[in-house]
Amino acid sequence: MAASGAACLLPVDHQPAALTIEACGLTICVRSVAGVHTATAFPKDGIRACFDMGLAHGRTLGCSATFVTHGHMDHIAALAHHAGLRSMARLPPSAVFAPAAIAAELSSAVAALAAVSGPSPAGEVLPVECGDVVWLHSKRVPALQAGAGLRADALPDDAALRQGGEQASAVGAAAASTPASAAAESGAGAAAGAAAGAAAAAAEREAAMRALVRGRSALEGHRGLCVMPIPTVHRVASQGYLIARAGKQLREDLQQAGPEAIKAASAAGETVTQPTLEILAAVTGDTIAAGMLAQPAFRCAPVLVTECTLTGPDMGPEVAAERGHTHVADLAEAWAGRQLTGRVLVLTHLSTREGPAGHCALVRAALEEALSARGVALRGWRVDGGGDAKFAAGSAFAGDVPGVDGEYAPGADTWPPRACAAAVGILCADCDDDEAAGWRRPAVVCAAHAHQL
């Protein structure tokens, strides 16, 4: 309740507009312009965490944890400002978690700004790295548990990383490689294709969960929401984050055993349960596409918030990778090839080069081109996201962008939809191979914000 009250302290007219998306049972509030500011908040659903704080928009005020992906100014500039706003609302500063390589310097910088501004306290900046677990439940300030030295998902070298990105979803790609027309030749063929596709997606999710759980003593005996760093590749030290729900289940080797065997194991002092992890969402921050695709946890996250800095043909994927960023062509290829097996893909960090309407058109064109190159027939687009994602009631639409025709209407296949300062569309493909593959490609949210430098 205090967090809700805090948001009310600032008049709505003075709060920077953020896109609010409801997807897979989560609420995500995004405000992001490449090189200007980025802040992705999960203000509800028990999470109350923000990923990067380049701007303290209104929906960040109730967030008691902030996770920094890297040290570029458009991702960290508002950390001290956020602490000051929470102080005005009589809330303690947010706990800040950052890559270990920059945590000490960032802590000093935030503390210095807080000291200059007066009595507002600064939030503690804690180093966090792959293998660590940050628990979001049971305490007002999230608790960090080190991962007992585990570095099983340590960053590979560049060559291995690019190879991993290229081979990112071998199981899923193999399952989806059967042409839709071949699978549809008979009812049995279509059913087999659907089963294989669904099995491939489930297998990757299971494999990602097992890889994350393996060896992490911090997960033993715990239940609840947590955040885990995942490596990415950018020009500077960087990492993305995974939001997950930890639980436990009967130990795998005992799941087929009878009650007596389980009782005997427990009586012998054995732990009869093992940790489980339900992946809820992931935020990559700035990264090259291969860096994101090399991580199964990103590829299978139900909601993936990832960067898409460049969309135009004048600066292609090679230029984007050289600059440590992702081009829409890379994401379109992964999306069309079913390397991304989640339900919602949110594209953020779009540059100021194209403007919201331009980004929207280029994203759609790239998705269509990638499908066409694979021989996939596109029946159309469901602009409302097909139920997987929608703009939340009350999302701030701050007026038309010059040169944009059309109006956003949920359920209508109009393009471009009504452009605004908050967002420009949700696309869900309606493809001929949907049934054969067994699952839909993720709905794509193009979160391009208007901005004047």
pLDDT digits (tens, 9 = 90+) for 111-167: 888 888 776 677 779 999 988 888 886 455 576 766 533 333 333 333 333 343 344
- Cβ pair 284, 69 in contact under 8 A: yes
pLDDT of residue 218: 60
Distances from the Cα of 187 to the Cα of 184, 191, 376, 378, 437, angstroms = 7, 6, 19, 21, 14
199 found inside a domain = yes
Domain containing residue 334: 17-446
Whether pTM > 0.85 for this model: the answer is no
112 found inside a domain = yes
452 found inside a domain = no
Provide mean pLDDT across the span 235-261: 85
Looking at mean pLDDT, say which of 12-26, 160-174, 352-366 comes out highest: 352-366
Taking every pair of C-alpha atoms in the chain, what is the biggest distance, in angstroms? 73
How would you classify the pairing of strands 95-99 and 125-128? parallel
95 found inside a domain = yes
172 found inside a domain = yes
Q: Which has the closest alpha carbon to 348: 106, 81, 54, 85?
A: 54
**Rounded to an integer, what distance in angstroms lies between the CA atom of residue 306 and that of residue 423?**
15
- Cβ pair 338, 397 in contact under 8 A: no
For residue 173, is pLDDT > 60?
no
How would you classify the pairing of strands 133-135 and 143-145? antiparallel
What is the radius of gyration, based on Cα positions, of the chain?
22
Angle, vertex CA 341, rays to CA 352 and CA 317, nearest 5: 35
Total count of domains within the chain? 1
For residue 187, is pLDDT > 80?
no
State the DSSP H helix or E strand holding residue 245, giving kind and residue range, or none if neither.
strand 239-250
For residue 4, is pLDDT > 50?
no
CATH number, residue 232: 3.60.15.10
For residue 201, is pLDDT > 60?
yes
- SS3 per-residue string spanning 162-177: HHHHHCCCHHHHHHHC
Angle, vertex CA 60, rays to CA 302 and CA 105, nearest 5: 95
Query: Any idea how long the chain is?
Result: 453
pLDDT of residue 234: 96
271 found inside a domain = yes
pLDDT of residue 149: 33
For residue 182, is pLDDT > 50?
no
3 found inside a domain = no
pLDDT band at 19 (very low <50, low <70, confident <90, very high): confident
Q: Tell me, what DSSP letter sits at residue 192?
A: H
pLDDT of residue 235: 94
Looking at mean pLDDT, say which of 57-61, 282-286, 398-402, 412-416 comes out highest: 282-286
359 found inside a domain = yes
